Amino acid sequence: MKLHYSSEKNIQILISLLKKNNISRVIVSPGSANANFVISIQQDDFFEIYSCIDERSAAYMACGLAAESQQPVVICCTGATASRNYMPALTEAYYRKLPLVAITATKNVNLIGMNIDQMIDRTSIPNDISICSVHLPSVTDANSEWECMLNVNRALQELKRNGGGPVHINLTTNYSQDFSVLELPDVNSINRLFIEDNFPLLRGRRIAIFVGSHFYWDDKLREAVDTFCERYNAVVLCDQTSNYKGKYGIFFNLITIQQEYSSKSMRFDVIIYLGDVSASVPPLCNELWRVNIDGEFRDLNKRLKYVFQMKEYAFFEKYNELSDEYELSLFDEISHEYNEIYDIMCKRSDEFGFSSIWVAYNTYNKLPDNSVLHLGILNSLRSWNFFRNNNIIGAFSNTGGYGIDGCVSTMIGASLAYPNRIFYCIVGDLAFFYDMNSLGNINIGSNIRIILVNNGLGNEFKNNLNPQQKAGIGEDANRYIAAKGHYGNLSKTLVKNYAKDLGFRYLSAKDKTEYNKIIPEIISENIGDSPLLVELFIEDMVDAEAINLIQKLKKDTCTIVKSTIKDVIGNNGIRVIKKFIKKEET
């Protein structure tokens, strides 16, 4: 019987990407753990294979071959101490920047330390034998398949970055005896490009620029992005922390949060990803292109195709030089959709109750010019991300670590840099009390204004976006998950006395009427003589209902029917139906 490729999907992925990267030279050493990989490549005429029994010699042979040919060379060995014998030559390759791909085969790594034969721990390797070390698990589902694809791409692209060097791929095998696979899968090959490389074509494709959390934009970058949007018919998808102030921004969360409406405009061929961690999720696309000077693989939506290791300005300037055509239909299309939903929200704004979303809606466009906004993660950030602030300098949130702690302290630190600017912090009660000791800092200036939304619990765990609420936990979330009742249990005097004793002006409101009375002082352009703390007592269920309402502003029949079917039969039922349809089609 003629043998073909192994049925082990991680091996197929590895071979497919070696071929897509034109890496054909392989020096193999004998063994059983690596046999499935070796059998799979020895029947493929693409590969130029050499045999060497001694792994130490094999790796040094690869050094010589790589140096002479100026091309990557693969070395592959079995488990146990075989991989240890690669170390001297890999050290040589590291310091000479030689492009070796060391593939070490292993049983499942969960057997490490279980007294199983030949299970050598390679999860931690010396710093100077590899510039990149990745592990390929057995493929059992879509996530492990994606992990393998991403890790192989990452390793192979490191062969030539910053001068290059050796990389290590730890390959899991299940010793499958099935070698009947005739064709390799068409695996996504991710490429890292530099400014001197040829850039892929963009003309005629549906393009969006998605901006995660981002520092202030200088005029040069903003103008380059605006020109790009004009020449390539693109838009900028952003939120508060994107800090984009150009002409073509869309605060797209208001569109994509709709549960009973399927947007026709939020689908793209290419999304160009700028910035870092974001609370927003990019919409559907065929390809994700990341532009960042760090050059790292950040596969935000499992669609990563290119990583451009360069400054953002350089990327857009190069593309702008490649085209001088102008068209703006896409921005008009998406703006129209956003404005439709926004107008519906305006007409129904009274239905939001006294909620975080209502406060954001009635405040965002009234903040003083040149002020700065800091937002607590999750509910505070989400509520303000539906609205674009053109009058503020910038908005920030601790989305890097994405933890509950430190948002007030971060705002205080930022306010020290510019004492003549007003700095706002919008924060929920659990996050506030977590960080409330910062209010006693002697360096606090009178240019800070804190808006504390006090629900008496973690309201993020009470809305219908929360997985626990989707599972039906309801009010049972209050005791532990949402931590109801801590910090004075909605005391009307705890924060008031604390703030006043520390020299803050204190205001409060428990409904819309009271908030409208105090808003002039909240948005005043005068800094005044002392910092301001505003406590808003908002009922948790009113906040949750506001989120539910904003998800259902716009509706279409098809999406409602699909949602109803899913509610009735559940995710498992959907999967059964899909399998049945697929079976019938075949």
> Which pLDDT score is estimated for 428?
95
Q: How far is it, in rounded angstroms, from Cα 489 to Cα 511?
A: 18
Q: pTM to 2 decimals?
A: 0.90
Encode pLDDT of 381-390 as tens digits.
Answer: 999 999 998 8
E-assigned strand segments in 203-260: 207-211, 235-237, 249-250
Q: Which residue, 466, 480, 387, is CA-closest to 430?
A: 480
> Which pLDDT score is estimated for 236?
98
| Distance from chain centroid for Cα 465 | 18
Do domains 9-189 and 207-339 share one topology? The answer is: yes
Encode pLDDT of 71-127 as tens digits.
Answer: 999 999 998 888 899 999 999 999 999 999 999 999 777 666 655 666 677 777 888
Q: Which two tokens stand for residue 436?
A: 């409330």
> Which pLDDT score is estimated for 578?
54
The domain defined by 207-339 carries CATH number 3.40.50.1220: yes
CB distance 318 to 194 below 8 Å: no
Q: What is the DSSP letter of 293?
A: T
The angle subtended at Cα 66 by Cα 61 and Cα 71, nearest 5°, is 150
Burial of residue 117, with CB atoms counted within 10 A of its CB: 0-12 exposed, 13-18 middle, 19 or more buried: exposed
The angle subtended at Cα 293 by Cα 288 and Cα 294, nearest 5°, is 85
> Which pLDDT score is estimated for 177?
93
> Which pLDDT score is estimated for 198?
96
In this prediction, the residues of the chain whose per-residue pLDDT falls under 70 are 1, 110-119, 557, 559-586
> Which pLDDT score is estimated for 470?
86
| Distance from chain centroid for Cα 559 | 26
3-state SS of 378-419 is CHHHHHHCCCCCCCEEEEECCCCCCCCCCHHHHHHHHHHHCC
> Which pLDDT score is estimated for 558?
72
> Which pLDDT score is estimated for 569?
60
Q: Token pair 């269920």 is at which residue?
A: 541
The domain defined by 9-189 carries CATH number 3.30.1380.10: no
Domain boundaries, the chain: 9-189, 207-339, 363-543, 556-586
CB distance 165 to 93 below 8 Å: yes
> Which pLDDT score is estimated for 564?
58
Q: How far is it, in rounded angstroms, from Cα 372 to Cα 360?
A: 15
Q: How far is it, in rounded angstroms, from Cα 560 to Cα 231?
A: 37
Q: How far is it, in rounded angstroms, from Cα 476 to Cα 427?
A: 24
> Which pLDDT score is estimated for 577?
56
| Domain 363-543: top CATH class | alpha beta
Q: How far is it, in rounded angstroms, from Cα 292 to Cα 278?
A: 15
